[in-house]
Amino acid sequence: MFGDGFPDRQREEALRGAAEPLDGPRVEALAALASELGVWLVPGSVCELGEHGELFNTQIVLSPEGRLAGSYRKVFPWRPHEPYVPGDRFVVVDLDGIGRVGLNICYDAWFPETMRQLAWMGAEVVLNVVKTTTADRAQELVLARANAIVNQVFVVSVNCAGPTGMGQSIIVDPEGGVIAEAPDAEPTLLATDLDLAVVDHVRTNGTAGVNRMWSQFRPGEPAIPLPVYGGRIDPETWQPSNFS
């Protein structure tokens, strides 16, 4: 977030100085802006001061009425560079009359479990807000497409522009096709319409007309152990909540 060479103590002190609870003046001002413009607003992520003094990297969703419709604490802080405490749950938010959005922050996208869980929770779009200032933006663009393909969801990866960030925001469809992409780090407005019905279409008919990962299992097949998680894939509960 601050780049290599920024001492850990200074980094944490700077974040602590900027941290506010979600009912603080920062979110209140952003909520007022969403209400004034009459839009759903996801203003990146904010440094949240937790109930017990913790620091969280938190993504917020504000409704056109100026309501805090949802918040998500980053599960995978960018270690060792970020001093944040990890969140403990994944979050989807229903946008009234639009669809269901999964919340995802920056380095989360490097862990396939995050996108898979959000897709399983019924997200049709995963909104990955990013502050990448380093050369690995090239890999993040690959991940955005790969995560869209293997979960058959739209992925919107929004990175901050220069001079702070590397830019190159990208919008990807459920088959991995690039709908829109900022070519460089210059400030850019990406505007497009997403037909969320495409998600069900791709899952029913298959990526490239052949691959239907969410319909992999047959009734009565045994669960598959996942020792790394201490869990399993259960065919009875495999499909996402919005897919039948």
204 in a structural domain: no
100 with 77: CB under 8 angstroms? no
31 in a structural domain: yes
Is residue 243 very low, low, confident or very high in pLDDT (cuts 50, 70, 90)?
low
Give me the amino acid identity at 201.
H
Instruction: Tell me how many domains the chain contains.
Output: 1
Domain that holds residue 4: 1-80
43 in a structural domain: yes
32 in a structural domain: yes
Mean pLDDT of 54-74: 98
**Pseudo-torsion of CA 59, 64, 65, 70, nearest 10°?**
-20
- Give the chain's mean pLDDT: 94
221 in a structural domain: no
Bridge partners of residue 61, in order along the sequence: 70
pLDDT at 5: 45
Is residue 9 very low, low, confident or very high in pLDDT (cuts 50, 70, 90)?
confident
**Tokens representing residue 75 in the block:** 């599960």
Q: What is the pLDDT of residues 12-34, one digit of tens each?
A: 889 999 999 999 999 999 999 99
201 in a structural domain: no
112 in a structural domain: no
51 in a structural domain: yes
Q: What is the pLDDT of residues 78-101, one digit of tens each?
A: 998 899 999 999 999 999 999 999
pLDDT at 151: 98
pTM for the whole thing? 0.93
Q: What is the pLDDT of residues 142-173, one digit of tens each?
A: 999 999 999 999 999 999 999 999 999 999 99
CA–CA separation, 132 and 140 (whole Å) = 9
The length of the chain is: 244
Is residue 244 very low, low, confident or very high in pLDDT (cuts 50, 70, 90)?
low
Report whether pLDDT(6) > 60: no
Specify the residue for token string 């399993």: 232
